[in-house]
């Protein structure tokens, strides 16, 4: 099982082991986004979809943060890094390297963060922030125009998921190496958030629709409110009125009967109970075994 190289999680996960080999402490990976507007719909995106011969619901999910949240959840579950808050911080800046000074230093050092930049050149691709206190390394990184530190950002200025699918397959089949794979149980989830005021008995239309958008959150926070994952939202019928931007829970909906996806999701939660997942991400834990790369934050070891 692997996510694709060329898409943003794959770009970050390719950078992470490279930076580890340089002896640098990785503390935050993420996406470069041109814009995010939670309230885009298939109607607002129809012209863009037709211009580029794209599926309108797909491009709606690109704009409203659902796809972004899904991609950073993939990244969180592959690294063990958290989000600093529901939906991430997503600072705006003109050049992506400015992001190294815009994310909370304490959170990056404590749990690691997944996040994104908005409007930053080069407008596409992915990045990884490292933390370096060594005077020698800081001097060399500064000399090569990477900033003053102690946080430095490395990035890939493009993403070509369709072009790079063959390299993903080759890497998996020939080298038995997944580009991106979860290290264990879930660390983050994508919640279902009301895109507008919703009325009882409305039927949710899922990813890229008119009713809701997706936001990433830490698993503990998501399970605390019994959050409905965006991937399970389509076809659910609301039991009550919901306000715009309100998180939707399982208690708020009637789910379609007999769904295999929901059955598998519940089996996943049984396999990785919340208490186990929370214990895994705190300092002082024993190493987790995975695909050969190890990341140390606050004394714990995570596969990267």
Q: Give the whole-angstrom CA distance, residue 214 versus residue 55.
A: 18
* Per-residue model confidence as pLDDT tens digits over 265-304: 999 999 998 865 443 333 322 222 233 334 443 333 344 4
How confident is the model at residue 117, as a pLDDT? 97
Q: What is the pLDDT of residues 118-137, one digit of tens each?
A: 999 999 999 999 999 999 99
Structure-token pair, residue 205: 């239309």
**What is the Cα–Cα distance from 115 to 151, expressed in whole angstroms?**
15
pLDDT in tens, 133-191: 999 999 999 999 999 999 999 999 998 888 888 989 998 999 999 999 999 899 999 99
237 by DSSP, 3-state: which? strand
Q: How many CA within 13 A on the CB side of residue 241?
A: 3
H helices of the chain, in order, are 8-21, 46-51, 56-63, 66-79, 105-110, 135-143, 165-174, 219-224, 260-271, 274-280
**pLDDT greater at residue 194 or residue 166:** 194
């Amino acid at each position: 099982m692997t996510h694709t190289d060329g898409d943003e999680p794959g770009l970050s996960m390719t950078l992470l082991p490279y930076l580890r080999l340089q002896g640098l402490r990785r503390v935050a990976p993420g996406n470069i986004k041109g814009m995010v507007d939670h309230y885009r719909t298939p109607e607002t995106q129809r012209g863009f979809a037709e211009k580029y011969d794209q599926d309108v619901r797909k491009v709606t999910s690109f704009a409203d943060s659902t796809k972004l949240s899904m991609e950073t959840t993939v990244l969180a579950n592959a690294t063990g890094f958290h989000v600093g808050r529901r939906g991430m911080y997503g600072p705006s800046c003109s050049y992506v390297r400015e992001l190294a000074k815009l994310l909370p230093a304490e959170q990056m050092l404590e749990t690691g963060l997944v996040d994104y930049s908005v409007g930053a050149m080069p407008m596409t691709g992915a990045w990884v922030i490292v933390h370096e206190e060594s005077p020698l390394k800081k001097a060399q990184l500064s000399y090569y125009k990477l900033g003053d530190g102690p946080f430095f950002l490395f990035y890939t200025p493009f993403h070509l998921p369709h072009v790079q699918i063959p390299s993903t397959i080759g890497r998996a089949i020939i080298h038995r190496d997944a580009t991106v794979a979860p290290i264990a149980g879930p660390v983050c989830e994508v919640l279902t958030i009301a895109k507008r005021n919703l009325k009882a008995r409305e039927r949710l239309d899922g990813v890229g629709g008119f009713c809701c958008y997706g936001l990433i959150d830490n698993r503990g926070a998501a399970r605390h409110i019994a959050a409905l994952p965006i991937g399970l939202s389509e076809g659910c019928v609301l039991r009550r009125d919901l306000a715009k931007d309100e998180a939707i829970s399982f208690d708020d909906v009637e789910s379609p009967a007999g769904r295999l996806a929901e059955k598998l999701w519940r089996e996943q939660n049984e396999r990785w109970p919340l208490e186990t997942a929370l214990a895994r991400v705190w300092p002082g834990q024993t190493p987790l075994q995975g695909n050969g790369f190890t990341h140390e934050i606050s004394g714990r070891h995570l596969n990267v």
